[in-house]
Amino acid sequence: MGLQTGRLGQGLGPSAAVGAPAQKLHAPISAETHFRLRVPATSANLGPGYDTLGLALEWRDEIQVSARPRRDPEQPEVGVVVTGEGAGDLPADASHLVITAVERILAAKGYHLPDLDVRAHNTIPHSRGLGSSAAAIATAVKTADQLLPGGLSDDEQLQIGSRMEGHPDNYAPALRGGAAVSWLASHTSELVFRTAPLQVHSQLRCVLAVPSFTQSTQAARDLLPGSVPHEQAAKNSSRAALLVHAITANPRLLLDATEDYLHQEYRRQAFPQSMALVDELRAEGFAAVISGAGPAVTVLTDEAHAPEAAASIQAFTSQHPGRETFAASNLPIAHTGAIVESLR
C-alpha cells in the first residue's frame, strides 16, 4: 500500500463518474467485515515491451482492513497504520491516497466510505520501478470490491485500476498475477484496456538488483523523445515479439529478446549506475533490463543460472563502492495476483 504520489492516472474514466453521484450515497455494508490483502510487486517493460509487458513477483505488500457501518453519517472514521516502507511518511488518516481511491470508487457506485481501520505492512520498495503504485491501486480496487454489495466484475477491476494507473503493464499483473501483455483498445470510443495472460515457462526466474537510491517515474518519462527513427521501432517490434516467445517457450532466447530500442538509452542519464550494471550483466550473457521506470534492474533467467546472476550483481556492487549500491533478490514469478482472505 505504498502509493505516494498525487497521480491517479486518468481517474475512473468515462464509464464511471468521478466523485459523488447526485443522489444520496448509501452505506456499502450493514455489518462489520474484516479481510486481509496480499499484493505482489511487479516488473514492467522487460526491455522492449514498453508500457505493454509486465510480470508479478513473489514479493508482497500486506494490509488488513476492518470495516464497519459509519457511526457519523457526515464523516467516516478512518485510521491507517503503516509499517515497513513509507512508515512515518504516508498519511495515517482518510487522506491516504489508497483510502481516497477507495472512496472515489465507492462514490461512483453510489456508496459512501464506511468507518475503516487499516494496518499496512509494506515490503515493496518505493520509487524503484517495482510496481509499488500499481500494488497500491490494486489494493484500493480489491478493497472496494470487498466493500461493495455485489462487488466489482473482473473487467471493472481491470478498467478502474488501469485508468487510475494510466496504463496496465504493471497493474494487470499486480491484480491477476503471472505475466501479461496489456494494451489500450483503439477501436472503441472511450478508454478500454485489455490484457492477455502469458503462460510463463516453468523455469523462468527473476533476479532483481534493488538499488539504494530512488527515481521519479515522471522524471524518467520526461527524458523520452516524442518520436524514434523507423529503424529503431522495427528492431524493437521484433524484440518484443521474440520476448513473448522467450518468456513462454524458450528462455534461452532471453538475451536477444530483451534488447530495447525505445526507452532505456534515453534514460541513461537518470540512472547511470543502473545502466552500467545492465551493460555489465548483458556482457556476461544475462538478460538484464531496467525494471519499469527504474532504477531497479531485472534479470530474466532460468532456475539454474539465477544464483550466478545474483552473484554478478553483488560483485558489481563490491567493485563499485559508494553510496549507490544494489542488493540482489532471487524471486519466483507470482502466479496469483492480489489475494483476498476473509478474517473472522
Whether 125 has a binding-site annotation, put simply, is: yes
Contacts of 53 (CB under 8 A, 6+ apart): 44, 45, 46, 169, 179, 180, 181, 182, 240, 243, 244
Q: Are 114 and 105 in contact (CB under 8 A)?
A: no
Whether 182 has a binding-site annotation, put simply, is: no
Whether 263 has a binding-site annotation, put simply, is: no
Whether 101 has a binding-site annotation, put simply, is: no
Whole-Å CA distances, 182 to 54, 148, 195, 231, 337: 8, 27, 4, 24, 15
Whether 226 has a binding-site annotation, put simply, is: no
Whether 337 has a binding-site annotation, put simply, is: no
- Apex 294 CA angle, 268 and 118, nearest 5: 160
Cis peptide before 321 (omega within 30 of 0): no
- Apex 12 CA angle, 7 and 16, nearest 5: 160
Whether 21 has a binding-site annotation, put simply, is: no
Contacts of 17 (CB under 8 A, 6+ apart): 108
Cα–Cα distance between 175 and 33 in angstroms, integer? 22
Whether 134 has a binding-site annotation, put simply, is: yes
Q: Are 309 and 281 in contact (CB under 8 A)?
A: yes
Cα–Cα distance between 161 and 101 in angstroms, integer? 10
Whether 221 has a binding-site annotation, put simply, is: no
Whether 133 has a binding-site annotation, put simply, is: yes
DSSP state of 252: G
- Cell, residue 254: 532471453
Contacts of 94 (CB under 8 A, 6+ apart): 76, 78, 100, 103, 113
User: Length of the chain, please?
Assistant: 344
Q: Measured in whole angstroms, how far is the alpha carbon of residue 298 from the centre of its chain?
A: 14
Whether 127 has a binding-site annotation, put simply, is: yes
Q: Are 141 and 148 in contact (CB under 8 A)?
A: no
Classify the C-alpha dihedral 61-66-70-72 as positive or negative: negative
Please report, in range form, the residues annotated as the binding site for ATP: 125-135
Please report, in range form, the residues annotated as the binding site: 125-135
